[in-house]
Structure 1
Amino acid sequence: MEEIALEQKRIRALNEFILKNSLQIFMPYYNKTDDEMVISKDISIDRNGIINIYINTILSVIASDEFEDGEISNSERYMKNNMTLETKDYILDALMKIYMNKYNDEHVLLGVMEMISCMKYEDVDPKGQIMALGLLQHENIYLRDRAIQVYEQWNSKKGINVLKTLKCDQKWLQDYVDKVIEYLERDGE
């Protein structure tokens, strides 16, 4: 009984902490030597626990998001407000786990692409590139198109070699790839 009460206390404290701090999270409490976050004197969370919190938060953001061209999505806002040098590894690990576990969920994958596309190429290296690369061959043509857009939005010459190896079965998509390659060769950073 005592263990259940302690676990309930831990969960309540964690939920209150998350609500109060809205996942801007843990870094003031982060102990780099132990790779854990201390919430209070008797409650702490290890790296996997932190990643799981990010997974749940990111999935909530994506689930309530709509992705429309020309509009700033909640997913993009989330990344710009929360991805810092201290949180980068946690967020990218969470995105990678979401990507692997939700590979057949178009909406979630669009959200993941939205999140990585608003960051610099170097800031998401190599996990962002791995996720975008994986979608370049996805059965869903819309996701393939979105993965190409990610490379375009990164505006990095480093992505050219990946795009040059891509052979699309749809002419319009191959034309788009060729235009993105041309653009990156000319104007990429």
Structure 2
Amino acid sequence: MSNSTAAAVLTTTDLPEAIRAVRTLLGISDGCPEVDLEAEITSPEVLARVLDVLPDLEWWSMAGPEHGSSEAGDDPADRLPVRVSNWSRPLDRAEPFIAALGSEPGALRWDLDGWPEVPEAELDPVTQKYAYLTLSVNSRDLCQDEPSEDHTVHVHVRSESETARIGWLADRIGGRFTGRTELSAL
């Protein structure tokens, strides 16, 4: 297993602005076949909305899977709070999932086919292994440990030394690289 560096390039209280930034970065990427969705759900109302978006939701009790999970066939409404982690979802599930979260923290990670070559910035292409994009909703970090009223867009690169690519991507969305990074398991 390897890691990427997730660099925060935009933090905003304006969720539509964060979504526009993600759309722009997806348009720059070499393609994106899927999205991964994560959240900690504490509210029955949010759970119902998320289940409308993802009827085959994979989840487990925050107290541990032995206290309830989708794998065991339990009802998540009886096990709140629950953690959801659904991988390789179709791209059209991303925005409905964001809307369903309301004020609950969550994260969406787009597994890109790569970041393109940018000759004018002297940037070589980046392969799929280090090309990801994450939107932390109602949180500033990848794992939702820092709940917040704002939302953060992270671009993933091989290492912090790729500040030129991070800065170039941030410029495309009107953001800026503040130096805030997190290590992300791939």
User: Shared fold (TM-score greater than 0.5)?
Assistant: no
More helix by share: 1
**Relative contact order: is structure 1 or structure 2 higher (C-alpha 8 Å, sep ≥ 6)?**
2
What is the TM-score of this pair, normalised by structure 1?
0.31
Larger Rg belongs to: 1
Larger strand proportion of the pair: 2
TM-score by length of 2: 0.31
